[in-house]
A and B are shown apart, each in its own frame.
Chain A
Amino acid sequence: MRQPKIIVVGGGLAGLMATIRVAEAGVPVDLFSIVPVKRSHSVCAQGGINAAKNQKGEGDTTWKHFDDTIYGGDFLANQLLVKKMCEAAPGIIDLLDRMGVMFNRTPEGLLDYRRFGGTLYHRTAFAGATTGQQLLYALDEQVRRHESEDRVKKYEGQTFLSAVIDESGVCRGICAMDLRSMEVKTYPADAVIFCTGGVGAIFGRSTNSVVCTGSAQSALFQQGVDYANGEFIQVHPTAIPGEDKLRLMSESARGEGGRVWVPKNPADTREARSIPEGERFYFLEEWYPKYGNLVPRDIATRAIHRIVYQEKLGIRGQAAVYLDVTHIPKETLDRKLEGILEIYEKFLGVDPRVEPMKVFPAMHYTMGGIWVNAEDQATNVPGIYAAGECEYQYHGANRLGANSLVSCIFGGGLAGPAAVKYARSLEKGAESAASSVYENERKRQEEKNQALISPDGTENPVTIWRELGEVMTEHVTVTRINKGLEAADVEIRELQERYGRINLSDRTRWSNQTLNFARELGNMLILARVITLGALQRNESRGAHYKPDFPERDDANWLKTTRAKWVRGDIELSYEPVDISQIPPRARRYDAAK
């Protein structure tokens, strides 16, 4: 029997899980990653991973987890896979536990669980406040084991440029660039699984890592892989503002009892801790008595924007509110939240155990992504699969905290075997594709490099990127107004035009980070338009997508998945129905119990 070959692009949680599953099936895997996989963005996940293990005797069930997820996502997620994910979640926790993840424990030696946003149950397993790091390391170690036994070959320091698609429209491998030698090469495979994460860099500053540009998704989109629900972008309520990055302050701070407040008098110049209880406005607790500080992220983010921009109650007139954990015993903070408190202390030089933290919302998560089917993570192009944050399937219009780690592992675990099954079913594999298919793709990508490196331009890529980030953050995050979205699209197209006159200040052919960044930027600009146009079209408010001119959810017209296609060099949007077979849509409100 022919031995198939699988490529995985991206070595975060989803990519590593897919890799392990393919290796376990006895099929060789090539794993491509820009950074050494241990440095992938999954390490930034802090608070935890959800599974309805019901270990606090609260009567939690996988159905309740499913219902919270669908409700939290404002009914935009297709329901069957979400249901399966929630049912699989307890088993995923067990697996991670067996892999040696140092989850926090109860006195009985069982896993401890905490509360998170959008649920009333203790459902979130955690390893301090560095859960993503711990999970990623566990999977990284398992992949290293497979690697040492020659089932996995890693290509770290390689960036994905494009898929190799033959004349019948079937994927036959990838084209990638070595980030040291800058060599462009093709790699044959019968199936490719993309696990390339979020798109934070499109918004300039976000909580995402540097590599989260969406470049791979955009490149695929331009090759005919559809992109769904692009307009759904999660803005996390609590991050530390910064010029290079907006550093996340995990929802777990509130899960452990952290409270959000502002002084009732915005001109109050006293130190936060000397402002008496009665002169503080705990606006989340007041506005949402049932869920309080643990309302879902879209709700908390809009509440903070309202406090700062409409009520003018930001701390001393600034765009900031307090996230306060000073009332929690220091011992508890160190045991359960140390990782994030340490970040605040290191980057601001203030001890959050003593002083309330100053936070503000920041672009955080990409709910939309590569269109995949409702069965096994397959895209609309045969041989291409996607899993993790880069695809759209699990979180609808708003992701609940601690659901991303579970969706990465579930999706990656589903994509691996699905790709193997597909590869084995092929009568003729990648070896049957004409060598010209590979050579033409390699040449096309080489020519793109050549065009970028030619010396006639005037525009600096970093400047274009910064301006893109400003446009996107202003018009396409928390509050969306059609006029603003139209203006944003015009501005992005102007940036695209300027991109055509780019000037790289580095034209060498060794470890040229400027060239790589310029390539990513071209892709970011296109995906930015997909996001903006999707937001412009959708005249309703749902989850993270909020239009004050259309403040209500409109199921009659917009209970639909946005599906973007690349048609003759431009973006076309179409709409398809959402699977609501399990839970009929109902009004979503968090001021009372569901």
Chain B
Amino acid sequence: MAETKQVIVRIKRQVSPAGTQYWEEFALPWRPAMNVIICLRDIAENPLTREGKKTTPISYDSNCLEEVCGSCAMLINGRARMACSALVDKLEQPIRLEPFSKFPVVRDLAVDRQFMFESLKRVKGWIPIDGTYNLGEGPRMAPELQEKAYPLSRCISCGSCLEVCPQVNDNNQFIGAAIVSQVRLFNMHPTGAMHAKERLQALMEPGGIQDCANAQNCVKACPKDIPLTESLAEMNRQAWKQALVGWLIG
């Protein structure tokens, strides 16, 4: 008898931020090129658990489905990654889906990552232009600098680097590798460099660069292969230099 191949998915659920977490299991018909997003859509179209119990569709964040918007990050078989690029055929079953643990759960797999956007404000993550009126071309830039900076500018604020960082916990509000790396990016830019001190100052406040304990989990978790440990080391060096200069000048 030809049996249809099944995909077994276990999902950690939670109805609201204050709700308790519980698991539900689903058995879905396998299809070629399935990813985790397709599994979640299949459940939405037919919300029945493996035991045949009626349930609600899974709440989760998603948007671009090509790993460039940063929405659909979650724990998949215990690993922080994007659901859209998690191909079912490459995952061990049952596939376990859990929300990130370092961010407040909104519902099911959806979490609140506002902390990251607030942090970008804190470090003044922008090039302070005078205005959008016509002021001619920007500064010239060596291709070498562009090639160094461009990989940093691909950070999608997914939060994977915070999720895997031991220094992000209930007792410690480390700002995270993504933000530190963004400071490096802005401080590298010829105009941004004019205001490097302000950003470094922000990085030296509580939760800043000194909270990095060099576990190096971040760089392995980053879906965009951003050289995060290089950024951490570089910003640590700059922060020390600035602290030293400040101390010497008094």
A-B contacts at CB below 8 angstroms, number: 183
CA distance A281 to B114 in the complex (A): 52
- Within residues 70 to 105 of chain B, which ones have a CB less than 8 A from any CB in chain A? 70-71, 84-85, 87, 90
A335 interfacial by beta-carbon distance below 8 Å? yes
Distance in Å: Cβ of A131 to nearest Cβ of chain B: 11
Nearest-neighbor residue (CB-CB) of B89 within chain A = A349
B238 interfacial by beta-carbon distance below 8 Å? no
Interface bin, chain A: 35 or more
Distance in Å: Cβ of B218 to nearest Cβ of chain A: 19
Nearest-neighbor residue (CB-CB) of B85 within chain A = A346
CA distance A40 to B68 in the complex (A): 10
A62 interfacial by beta-carbon distance below 8 Å? no
Residue interface bits B37-74, CB-to-A below 8 A is 1, else 0: 11001001111000000111101011111111111000
Stretch binding the partner chain, chosen from A167-175, A357-365, A371-379, A509-517: A509-517
Interface bin, chain B: 35 or more
B66 to A343, Cβ gap below 8 A? yes
B62 to A210, Cβ gap below 8 A? yes
A210 to B44, Cβ gap below 8 A? no
A20 to B132, Cβ gap below 8 A? yes
B134 to A100, Cβ gap below 8 A? no
B250 interfacial by beta-carbon distance below 8 Å? no
Chain A residues lying within 8 Å of B16, measured Cβ to Cβ, are: 510-511
Residue in contact with B186 in the complex, picked from A100, A211, A247, A513, CB distance below 8 Å:
A100
CA distance A128 to B154 in the complex (A): 10
B68 to A94, Cβ gap below 8 A? no
Residue interface bits A488-526, CB-to-B below 8 A is 1, else 0: 000000000000000001101011011000000000000
* Known contacts A244-B84, A346-B85; is-contact A105 B142 (Cβ 8 Å): yes
- Within residues 110 to 169 of chain B, which ones have a CB less than 8 A from any CB in chain A? 110, 113-114, 117, 120-121, 124-129, 131-132, 134-138, 140-143, 146-147, 149-150, 153-154, 156-157
A148 interfacial by beta-carbon distance below 8 Å? yes
A484 interfacial by beta-carbon distance below 8 Å? no
A244 to B143, Cβ gap below 8 A? no
B176 interfacial by beta-carbon distance below 8 Å? no
- Within residues 5 to 49 of chain A, which ones have a CB less than 8 A from any CB in chain B? 20-21, 24, 35-36, 38-41, 43-44
- Within residues 142 to 169 of chain A, which ones have a CB less than 8 A from any CB in chain B? 142, 144-145, 147-148
Chain A residues lying within 8 Å of B208, measured Cβ to Cβ, are: none
B66 to A244, Cβ gap below 8 A? no
* Known contacts A144-B121, A505-B47; is-contact A109 B141 (Cβ 8 Å): yes
CA distance A248 to B63 in the complex (A): 15
CA distance A242 to B87 in the complex (A): 12
B189 interfacial by beta-carbon distance below 8 Å? yes
B27 interfacial by beta-carbon distance below 8 Å? no
Distance in Å: Cβ of B28 to nearest Cβ of chain A: 12
CA distance A130 to B154 in the complex (A): 8
Residue in contact with A36 in the complex, picked from B87, B117, B124, CB distance below 8 Å:
B117
Residue in contact with A244 in the complex, picked from B35, B120, B125, B142, CB distance below 8 Å:
B35
Residue ranges of B at the interface with A (Cβ–Cβ < 8 Å): 15-16, 31, 33-35, 37-38, 41, 44-47, 54-57, 59, 61-71, 84-85, 87, 90, 106-107, 110, 113-114, 117, 120-121, 124-129, 131-132, 134-138, 140-143, 146-147, 149-150, 153-154, 156-157, 186, 189, 191-192
| Known interface pairs A43-B156, A100-B189; 6 further A-B residue pairs with C-beta atoms within 8 A, sorted by A's residue number | A38-B117, A130-B68, A244-B35, A505-B55, A510-B15, A514-B44
Residue ranges of A at the interface with B (Cβ–Cβ < 8 Å): 20-21, 24, 35-36, 38-41, 43-44, 91, 94-95, 97-100, 102-110, 127-128, 130, 133-134, 137-138, 141-142, 144-145, 147-148, 180, 209-211, 242-245, 247-248, 335, 339, 343, 346-347, 349, 413, 460, 462-463, 466, 505-506, 508, 510-511, 513-514
Q: List 8 A-B contacts (CB under 8 A).
A: A35-B63, A35-B71, A36-B113, A106-B143, A244-B41, A335-B147, A347-B87, A462-B41
- Of all A-B residue pairs in the complex, the 5 with the closest CB atoms, nearest first, are A97-B138, A109-B140, A141-B126, A100-B127, A511-B107
